[in-house]
Amino acid sequence: MAEFSNPFRPGAGHAPPYLAGRHVEREEFVRLLAQRTILDNLILTGLRGVGKTVLLDTFKPLAQARGWLWAGTDLSESTSLSEENLATRLCTDLSPFTSSVVVATGQRRIAGFGTNTETISHTLGYDALVEFYNRSPGLALDKVKAVVQHAWQALSQAPHVRGIVFAYDEAQNLADHPAKDQHPLSLLLDAFQSLQKMGLPLMLVLTGLPTLFPRLVEARTFAERMFRVLFVRSLNEEESTDAIRKPMEDAACPVELADDSVRTIVEMSGGYPYFLQFICREVFDAFIQRIDKGLRGSVPVAEIEQKLDTDFFAGRWARATDRQRELLSVIARLDGAGDEFTVQEVVEESRRTLDKPFSSSHVNQMLVTLSAQGLVYKNRHGRYSFAVPLLGRFITRQAAV
């Protein structure tokens, strides 16, 4: 048998061998790039494993092909500790572009006869940006606006530069800290809103969990009008099938999946790209082993679910107390557990199924705690959802053990 590497790559932010779907999201991003004045920025949000980071990576060449510079990275918790840290982040992200720009800083006389002078200049690298930030008068907001405006004035002199996209992944890590008098999230929103009102072609693209947008609106109510929000959902059946079959269409691929095997994988994955990659990788290896033994391949459902439970769900489940697990089990039994649920629905289900049901106040308190643990989240309409894809199925399997 010709050697053929397993093409599937489950992992945090790893590009799949074939990116299925996401046409609507990419078309919307291209539309936003065509704005003459930046009125709408972009938020990509969704559950873990839905492919937000991979989708964000596909936006970069779309922007660059249209003359936009692309600055950004993951937003770590340390970036959000202080306004100074956020300013450092912006200077760092701008410096790769500005470091090749030469700017004049003054004139000096040349020693000797006459009045000849020469221009003093330097490149606008990271140190120069930080120095400009420190020398600028005013509060941190004034300084950030000054340094970004200064950088854009230099960059805009280059031909075919349309603007700058500031793209930040894991943006749910952004937060204000009123107790410490530090407001980096508000600073970011205030700075970009002000710079965009001045006509600067600077666009924010933020990617994060569903807690991101409510946090932005809580910090600054105008954020509701500042962003176009795209909720990245799981793939439909056709897209999921393409994500499975396309990587195996290579003539050298020794594995061929029957339609029933593909349907099984689609159902197991729920259409979530991470789970599609995880399951397909396991199926590929299992099929190779059976083919080597002269046997017909089949999807080892129980074995894959056990490995998925151990690798993906167990760590999150272990953080919950016994009473929290009992509440999560009640939620998993709801008809709408895979979508949305309310406190009242949880209370009523607990009365039907538990000897010691939950009160409304108790459910509210526990959901706040579970939200902080990243197991559920509250949307803008006051309804809750599981924050981890397919968590309900995992809980159901645990109850059956």
pLDDT at residue 197, as a whole number: 95
Residue 337 has a pLDDT of 77
Q: Residue 105: is its pLDDT beyond 60? A: no
**227-279 confidence digits (pLDDT tens):** 999 999 999 999 999 999 998 887 678 878 889 999 999 999 999 999 999 99
pLDDT computed for residue 253 by the predictor: 81
Q: Tens digits of per-residue pLDDT, 202-213?
A: 999 999 999 899
What CATH number labels 316-400? 1.10.10.10
Per-residue pLDDT tens digits for 352-392: 999 999 999 999 999 999 998 889 988 767 789 998 899 99
Q: Does residue 8 register a pLDDT over 50? A: yes
Q: Enumerate residues 6+ apart whose C-beta is below 8 A from 188.
A: 86, 174, 204
pLDDT of 117: 54
pLDDT band at 176 (very low <50, low <70, confident <90, very high): very high
* 106 confidence band (pLDDT: 50, 70, 90): very low
Cα(289)–Cα(7) distance, integer angstroms = 16
Query: Yes or no: is domain 23-231 CATH 3.40.50.300?
Result: yes
Compute the distance between CA of residue 199 and CA of residue 39 in angstroms, rounded to an integer. Answer: 10
Nearest to 283 by CA among 266, 239, 293, 401: 266
What's the pLDDT at 159?
85
pTM score: 0.85
Residues 6+ away with beta carbon under 8 Å from 66: 30, 33, 162
- Separation between Cα atoms, residue 40 and residue 388, nearest integer Å: 29
pLDDT for residue 400 is more than 70:
no
Tens of pLDDT, residue by residue over 297-343, are 678 888 999 998 998 898 889 989 999 999 999 999 998 777 889 99
The residue type found at 194 is S
Specify which of 11-15, 123-127, 176-180 reaches the highest per-range mean pLDDT: 176-180
pLDDT bracket for residue 107 (50, 70, 90): very low
Amino acid in the structure at residue 107: Q
CA-derived radius of gyration, the chain: 26
Nearest-angstrom CA–CA distance, 282 and 308: 10
What integer pLDDT is reported at residue 108 of this predicted model?
45
